[in-house]
């Protein structure tokens, strides 16, 4: 079978017969994200969970690319001297995600400039092809089971077309800076529903992710960067106000379906409805999981706080949801207290069975909040 070559520019269209069900599903996901956002805003944990959830997202996204690092290994990484290359990839993902969120929060939209910045962070000391870090590829690449182009399942756009396709992609996400509408001349319009720059954000999210993956602008790191952009666009488009909506875990569970439906959006005769439905269904399941996770985490946190006598104990306990594997030195630095005071608070939490203490260590003792790590790994 010959490979699929290239993609059409945006916007896209789907049959009217399939649009109604997709819009109903979109409404369902939007409502769940609204509940998640509201729940997060009023949670006693608040920002404490962002770090832990983003770390789990980093693990799940890099697993799609074949990395075998676990969430627990990354939690324990902070206090280890030896960091493996795979751990470094996960940490790079987390740093790129955080940098992107800070840029969005400061009013900078997703753009070519931001993509290049994120790619530099993502590829630092990576196992992959790093010579093109922060630069779009200058040669043809391909996706397939071997390193031979004749075995490729998909051949992306030519290197000299990347800038034009990304400009079109940016205008789809952010709208044209001078209000010029995207051309729809390439689309069949009869009995079709057009998804353009004015469409609901969740539909645009599904399309923008697939299109970025298909442009494949870098020699390496395209998949990871494309999944970071899911979270960033969710915040930029006000689907959710904090970077806590992650879909990689669901995509990783069905990675072959993920790649299959991405392929259906490519070539000269793309079919977008199947991909959009797959993406919305994955988003729906993930929204359910995140709502339940936050509800359960809130119960755990409130129960633990009720056992604390002093304010410093409460602050220390809440901080362990951000750092589930911590030390007295880390708590001391975060809360600006002495190591002795931090140690006293941590030991109190151990006595109340809220934390577990590594009794084998004599110095730099580790404390673990297994309640939150087990919850996230469900």
Q: Please state the residue numbers annotated as binding site for ATP.
A: 65, 216, 220-227, 258-259
Q: How far apart are CA 278 and CA 354, in angstroms?
A: 40
User: Cis before residue 378, ω within 30 degrees of 0?
Assistant: no
Question: Is the distance from CB of 24 to CB of 204 less than 8 angstroms?
Answer: no
The span from the CA of 119 to the CA of 133, in Å, is: 6
Per annotation, catalytic residue among 99, 176, 216, 260? 216
What residues form DSSP beta bridges with 356?
368
Q: Measured in whole angstroms, how far is the alpha carbon of residue 170 from the centre of its chain?
A: 19
- DSSP character string of 62-123: HHHTT----HHHHHHHTT-S---HHHHHHHHHHHHHHHHHHHHHTTPPS-HHHHHHHHHHHH
- Per the annotation, the verdict on 216 as an active-site residue is yes
- What span, in angstroms and rounded, lies between the C-alpha atoms of 226 and 228? 5
Q: Which residues contact 237 (CB under 8 A, 6 or more apart)?
A: 201, 204, 205
Q: What are the binding residues? A: 65, 216, 220-227, 258-259
Residues with Cβ < 8 Å from 120, sequence gap 6 or more?
133, 134
User: Which residues are catalytically annotated?
Assistant: 216
């Amino acid at each position: 079978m010959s490979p699929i070559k290239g993609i059409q520019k945006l916007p896209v269209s789907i049959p009217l017969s399939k649009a109604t069900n997709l819009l109903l599903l979109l409404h369902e996901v939007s409502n769940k994200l609204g509940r998640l956002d509201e729940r997060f805003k009023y949670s006693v944990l608040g920002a404490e969970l962002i770090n832990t959830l983003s770390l789990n997202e980093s693990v799940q996204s890099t697993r799609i690319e074949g990395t075998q690092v676990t969430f627990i290994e990354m939690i324990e990484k902070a206090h280890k001297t030896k960091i493996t290359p795979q751990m470094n990839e996960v940490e790079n993902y987390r740093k790129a995600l955080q940098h992107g969120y800070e840029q969005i929060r400061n009013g900078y939209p997703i753009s070519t400039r931001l993509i290049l910045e994120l790619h530099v962070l993502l590829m630092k000391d990576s196992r992959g092809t790093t010579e093109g870090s922060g630069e779009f590829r200058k040669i043809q690449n391909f996706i397939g089971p071997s390193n031979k182009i004749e075995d490729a399942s998909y051949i992306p756009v030519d290197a000299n077309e990347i800038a034009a396709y990304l400009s079109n992609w940016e205008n789809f996400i952010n709208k044209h800076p001078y209000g010029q509408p995207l051309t729809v001349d390439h689309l069949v319009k009869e009995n079709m529903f057009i998804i353009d720059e004015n469409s609901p954000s969740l539909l645009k999210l599904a399309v923008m992710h697939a299109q970025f993956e298909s442009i494949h602008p870098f020699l390496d790191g395209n998949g990871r960067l494309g999944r970071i952009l899911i979270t960033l666009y969710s915040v930029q488009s006000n689907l959710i106000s904090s970077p806590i909506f992650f879909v990689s875990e669901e995509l990783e569970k069905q990675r072959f379906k993920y790649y299959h439906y991405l392929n259906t959006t490519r070539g000269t005769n793309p079919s977008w409805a199947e991909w959009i439905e797959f993406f919305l269904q994955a988003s729906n399941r993930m929204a359910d999981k995140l709502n339940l996770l936050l509800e359960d985490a809130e119960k755990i946190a409130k129960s633990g706080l009720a056992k604390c006598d002093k304010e410093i104990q409460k602050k220390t306990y809440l901080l362990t949801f951000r750092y589930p594997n911590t030390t007295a030195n880390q708590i001391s630095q975060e809360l600006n207290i002495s190591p002795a005071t931090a140690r006293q608070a941590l030991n109190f939490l151990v006595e109340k069975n809220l934390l577990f203490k590594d009794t084998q260590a004599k110095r730099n003792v580790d404390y673990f909040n297994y309640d939150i790590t087990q919850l996230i790994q469900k």
